[in-house]
Amino acid sequence: MSFIGSQRLNVNAGGRIAIPTKYRDAILSDESGGLMYLTRHLFKECLVLYPKRKFDDIVEQIQDIEDTVQAEMFTSVIISPAVETEMDGQGRIMIPPSLREVSGIEKEVMLTGQIGSFHLWDARAWDDNQKADREEAKRLVQSGTIRLKM
């Protein structure tokens, strides 16, 4: 399953967003049966929406960390804030208040495909992040650190 593209969505009064139709079938046909997990991003000020099997892979990787203190740190940062979610009959998912607060999501959210997951950004923060990411990507390619043929 590959999620690509981005879409600006409105957050309703109940804190729900409607997953675009083009992604719904892929999410529902996944072996997870549409079950997903929403949690904080490890490095960025956004949220990550994972299909269950991808989230299970992350849980397994954390469980494989030999250093208990490090494993507990990653559990605290990634697993503890996570919520299980499923689309309702209208294709909407709930973004709990606690996760909206830590990500700054208010009225508009950018749902961005990340191949195996989605990022959910406050729309204004997304614009700022995109500008910074484009500049860094340009620097990496121009310096030869990253080689991309586009």
Condensed to tens digits (0 to 9), the pLDDT of residues 88-138 reads 889 999 999 999 999 999 999 999 999 999 999 999 999 888 898 899 999
Mean pLDDT estimate for the chain? 91
**Averaged pLDDT, 9-24:** 92
Q: How confident is the model at residue 1 (pLDDT cuts 50, 70, 90)?
A: low
Write down the pLDDT at residue 93.
94
6-123 under CATH 3.40.1550.20, yes or no: yes
Write down the pLDDT at residue 25.
80
Q: How confident is the model at residue 148 (pLDDT cuts 50, 70, 90)?
A: confident
Q: How confident is the model at residue 38 (pLDDT cuts 50, 70, 90)?
A: very high
1 vs 26: which has the higher pLDDT: 26
86-91 long-range Cβ contacts below 8 angstroms, 24+ apart: 86/34, 86/35, 86/36, 87/19, 87/24, 87/27, 87/28, 87/34, 88/16, 90/18, 91/18, 91/19, 91/21, 91/24
Q: How confident is the model at residue 8 (pLDDT cuts 50, 70, 90)?
A: very high
With beta carbons less than 8 A apart as the criterion, state whether 53 and 35 touch: no
Query: What is the Cα Rg of the chain in Å?
Result: 16
